[in-house]
Chains A and B, each alone.
Chain A
């Protein structure tokens, strides 16, 4: 399969996965199909049928009925809708993990923050204490962190939420398609998904709700999505998302995890520090700290050599800031010296080896 990203070596899958061929095919089919799923005529009905097929497919991710799935424009909207509809709009207090994505943090600026330990794992005893104060809170925890790949102890979090009577919202944007989430952890939770992080096109996401009860929409519009999200659904992107989700189920992530571990070893050889090395991480994600060298310098240097990697969160100007995720884990100046490598579904061994060598060269040159 041809690479979608010029001649550069693309190791930034957590920013966006390359388009999967299955997703491309489904997207193209929907573009050819045309029609508005809300129309009553034949063309509209045909579009509607495709949309509902996609809905069933996406809902299956959490073993839900299709009615529980609300399509959105992406992960950010899914998280924002969950916090609005299941939290703020019904007067429910919101608690979020300290390393959540900005999609969650900015949607709940007043939220209580559940701290994480130095490995990035949410502190369960603190969560329990916080829920003693606000038992009916909406608790937002990401299944896996976008910067470190650290996987949350979701089953434990879910059990605590059930015990206290809290509602759980899982940001599964990074973990979906890469990690098997247990149905036990997801039971009763709302779940945010993003199409392009699965290898679909950009522009589609989904919120899987605990049930099909009505909710207060962010966009009332024409009452689409059973009144839960107005606006004509982006059918081509949604079809691509469903196809990508399905295709990702057969991905050999063990092989990719092995390559990730190889890079990790080569990085350790040049004295890089591995973030959260001792906990369960996404199979494709590696976060490396090169002491004394700013993330910005590392990114520029590798970019100039043709490697696309990432760091912390860049704002829309492209300015690289210290990572709030690493800061929450207790890193200080090193929070500004980290690099995220996230292997895409179609990475090759040659690419991984080439990167490891480039990283070693860079480290030897810049290390202070």
Chain B
């Protein structure tokens, strides 16, 4: 079949394209130009970063057409700007989710349909399973590489059209071996790290440059408003973190964690970790922009929930609210949920859905 492969220039999506080509499909490679890879400080520099060159060389080697899609302005608006906005509200955003949701699985997927492709494939480590009730998303065979948490917002319609061949790979090593077998130059290429568009190494500096109103130090206070110390800028903190709090752990005689971020007042509110994590009451979290990959159960569902990218599951009852747009997550045990992060619902390996954590009182 004619299939569009979203190629980042990395080893994973390169192997996906090569595999599909070898299986006899009519592969079309597409690489999104998302941001100025050589940095904005060099006008006149070519926009073709290393990754685009790498993707193109894979396409040339395997013998299928490859195109570069200009998604810079859309990426800036839908990912980078909302990333900064989110920090300016005191949240901790997940830009990869926004990117997958918009630029990749809406725009690029739409282009694939326009080009008459029957499917679009990516190099994500996710398993797509055709179940009796329709298509399902599952954790990949290689748990180390699991990207389901970042893909929870994929709609069922999108999932139906998508293919994730690497979901079945036993390990990343297998992918590299395949890349070598195909003779791809990217076989030994380093995995991408962190947030792709933060090119100077500090997401906080980028956010502060974009939203100067939240730049600069401020007070660290306890829940009664007593000033305990100073912080270096609210964008450097996330709910649940206990690093970067200076000597307030020793000063208060207890390990402290961030419980709330008041970006408008530039305040970081902390509380004693011990009290919050073991003595606390059952806790409720509200999620916005829910995406259900099952028919939303009106009475709710008891399932595992994952509140961060790398974290073990907690048991909760999740109940749809506001139609199915929102959801309430009732956890048995207290948890520090960071607003803006994703809360993804699992039943075994299967993803049931997920949403973004709302700040309390919103």
Contacts and interface: CB of A to CB of B under 8 A. Distances in A.
Interface of A: 106, 296-297, 299-301, 303-304, 315-321, 365-366
Nearest to B33: A319
A304 B44 CA distance: 31
Interface residues of B, number: 18
A318 to B, nearest CB: 4
B69 interface: yes
A6 to B, nearest CB: 13
Nearest to B49: A317
Given A315-B48, A317-B48, A296 B33 contact: no
Contact of A316 (B33, B48, B67, B111): B48
B28 A304 contact: yes
Contacts of A301: 114-115
Nearest to B4: A300
Contacts of A297: 111, 114-115
Contacts, number: 48
Given A297-B111, A320-B70, A315 B46 contact: yes
Contact of B46 (A304, A317, A320): A317
Interface in B43-84: 44, 46-49, 52, 56, 65-70
Nearest to B70: A319
A299 to B, nearest CB: 8
Interface of B: 28, 33, 44, 46-49, 52, 56, 65-70, 111, 114-115
B68 A318 contact: yes
B33 A317 contact: yes
A317 B51 CA distance: 10
Nearest to A298: B114
A304 B114 contact: no
B114 A366 contact: yes
B187 to A, nearest CB: 23
Contacts of B46: 315-317
Nearest to A336: B70
A104 B205 CA distance: 38
Contact of A317 (B28, B44, B52, B115): B52
A301 B115 CA distance: 6
A317 B111 contact: no
Contacts of A317: 33, 46-49, 52, 68
Given A317-B33, A365-B114, 17 more contacts: A106-B44, A296-B67, A297-B111, A297-B114, A300-B28, A300-B65, A300-B115, A315-B46, A317-B47, A317-B48, A317-B49, A318-B52, A318-B66, A318-B68, A319-B68, A320-B68, A321-B70
